[in-house]
Structure 1
């Protein structure tokens, strides 16, 4: 059975990178407050606008956008597995489900419970399962395993952008007014959760140590990610990860895309790990 795997631009893969990996991207809408629309594929204008004091907003694709993409894919495939960012963070998965209702069992929509590099890993695990001969149930189970056994952590230099987007809550109370401290954040129950507080200059080392404690010598797929259109910073993160005791056998280095960047701002960086042998 030929199955297309669809995800959205919050996976932080560009459209061309996703295509090379066997995924199809349905983009969220990205707009400058007081300006015009932007492409989710190019984060640089987002960060430039934010650094100049501007605000960037996002909106989910409408059901019609999903329906058009599903119809096009089903002309050459038997089914579509559509894997999206957490429904607790966005209406995107709900819009996809509304569109999928018109295609019966040929389109299955899955709430990944995560976003960003964790969403990319979940969609890629589904793709790998299907390529190995799995059916839709087994591919959906691969998404669930990636969520359950994976760990994504990231840190931000400021909470201002998350505050503007209304995505703070417990994170704001957790950090408080402490100076020279960064929050390490992750996903739990589909939402953004504070994991711990660390000194600013120790954040990366602390994140790597937590992954070493959790996974030991298990072979991992590791993704390093940075927001700010700064390839040099991305290379520094990758080098630090490879110097660690983690047994990295696969993974990616990703610049955070414009949609996630609109909510976190420049300077975020993170690590996403998942056992290679799930």
Structure 2
């Protein structure tokens, strides 16, 4: 048995980290105007944010096609892999997981164990890292059972702060009037995943207060998980310095927790908008060094 680990591009794991643990990537697509770009391959973040900022209409996003996934599986099969643990962003916000399942049924000689992470971004990446770091340390059935437990809310969780309402407005999730009123009141929605869906957690006025509220919730959850090997991540949407400051502040408050800084790439930033922040964690031991 030879096991490959695949993660889609919305994990935004550093390329060197994926290389270290032999994690393969299948990209989602972002469509700007009439041109489609493979995330993290055909377009960088700086170019994407400039393009998004200058357009009245939001870019569109799409999951990898079944054909793209079949090509990846055929290449892995040719390398001698017999099984694939494939970790994807929540099935409630993308069809990527469903396409992975369909592709797996189309290729003989290799078995795909598709994982609906029920989250997104680097928090989803924690699951791929755990799979890659343990695929030779435990039987496959045990590893899949551990992953199923790992992705439960009590063990892996995340909160996201939306800084601007313009993308929610452009995407049809808010009316013009709602966006105008929300902007005037400086409303900063806090979102989280519930039953694999991204839903409102609270609406807070001002970003500073929203960050403080997320810290309060994080503190409660860290108290519950005291003694476990927590790895946490601060995620930013073209707001590197703000994300870095927040991470450093959290590091001072929680010296026993390993923190990493990540970003929202084009596919997720299309929906959350520029300036968004996130804070997520896992209670399972993962190596994030590279």
Give TM class, smaller chain. Answer: 0.7 to 0.9
How many residue pairs are counted as aligned between the two chains?
271
Segments of structure 1 that go 5 or more residues without pairing to the other structure are none
Alpha carbons 2:100, 2:114 under 8 Å: kept: yes
Question: Match for residue 8 of structure 1?
Answer: 8
Unpaired runs of 5+ in structure 2? none
CA distance in 2, matches of 1:114, 1:101: 24
SS in structure 2 of the partner of residue 113 of structure 1: coil
The partner residue of 2:280 within 267, 272, 275 is 272
C-alpha displacement of 1:237:
2.2
Structure 1, 155-164 or 179-188: larger mean CA deviation:
155-164
Matched with 1:82 is: 86
Q: Deviations over 1:87-133 (max 9, x none)?
A: 11111111111110023562221211111122111222222231423
Mapped partners of 1:113, 1:144: distance in 2:
11
Structure 2 SS opposite 1:102: coil
- Does the C-alpha gap of structure 1 residues 221 and 167 become closer, same or farther in structure 2, counting only changes over 3 Å? farther
Shift of 1:168: 6.9
Q: Residues 241, 177 of structure 1: CA spacing in aligned structure 2 closer, same or farther, 3 A cutoff? A: same
1:128 to 128, 133, 137: 133
Query: TM-score when scaled to structure 1?
Result: 0.87
Instruction: Please give the root-mean-square deviation of Cα atoms over the aligned residues, in Å.
Output: 2.6
Contact 2:165 2:182 in 1 (8 A): no
Structure 1, 83-92 or 237-246: larger mean CA deviation:
237-246
Matched, 1:185 2:167: no
Match of 2:244 among 210, 232, 235: 235
Pair 1:245–1:194, CA change in 2 (3 A): same
- In structure 2, relative to structure 1, the CA distance for the partners of 1:277 and 1:88 (3 Å cut) is same
Contact in 1 for aligned 2:164/2:183 (Cα 8 Å) = no
Separation in structure 1 between the aligned mates of residue 16 and residue 38 of structure 2, nearest angstrom: 13
Structure 1 residues 239-267: Cα deviation after superposition (integer angstroms, max 9, x where no partner): 0220224731x352112211111221110
**What CA distance in whole angstroms lies between the structure 2 residues aligned with 1:125 and 1:190?**
20
Partner of 2:35: 36
* Aligned match for 2:202, one of 188, 196, 199: 196
Matching residue within 225, 246, 254 for 2:235? 225
Please identify runs of 4+ aligned residues in structure 1 that moved more than 3 A: 14-17, 162-169, 175-178
> Distance in 1 between the 2:203 and 2:216 partners?
14
- How far residue 189 of structure 1 moved from its aligned partner, in angstroms, is 0.9
Of 176-185 and 19-28, more deviation after overlay is shown by 176-185
SS at match of 1:183: strand
